[in-house]
């Protein structure tokens, strides 16, 4: 179960950072309405899972910290991919 908390925390972290990135690029419609209204609550949940992972995981705390920081990379890449897809679709609609 200790690794499960770590994995869930990392997945939540990736999703939240993805939503932050895509909304900052101007596509707030691609994020959940609850996130737009209560983004601080999502950040608190992310921090709670991070703390729980440090407390209950058998992985050393510094490796968990590194994993959390590295999880920003795939989130940013996913957001960029989604952004490029949206822009491409918008350009195709403009042409038609």
Residue 1: what pLDDT?
67
Residues of the chain with pLDDT under 50: none
What domain range is 11 assigned to? 2-95
DSSP labels, the chain = -HHHHHHHHHHHHHHHHHHHHHHHTT-GGGS-HHHHH-HHHHHHHHHHHHHHHHHH-SS-HHHHHHHHHHTHHHHHHHHHHHHHHHHHHHHHHHH-
Residue 4: what pLDDT?
87
Q: How many domains does the chain have?
A: 1
Residue 37: what pLDDT?
92
For the whole model, what pTM was predicted? 0.77
Residue 29: what pLDDT?
85
């Amino acid at each position: 179960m200790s690794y499960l908390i770590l994995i869930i925390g990392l997945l939540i972290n990736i999703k939240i950072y993805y939503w932050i990135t895509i909304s900052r690029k101007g596509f707030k419609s691609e994020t959940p309405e609850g996130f737009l209204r209560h983004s601080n609550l999502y950040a608190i949940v992310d921090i709670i899972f991070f703390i729980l992972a440090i407390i209950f995981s058998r992985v050393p705390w510094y490796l968990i910290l590194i994993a959390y920081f590295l999880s920003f990379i795939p989130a940013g890449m996913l957001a960029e991919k989604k952004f490029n897809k949206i822009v491409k679709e918008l350009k195709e609609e403009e042409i038609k």
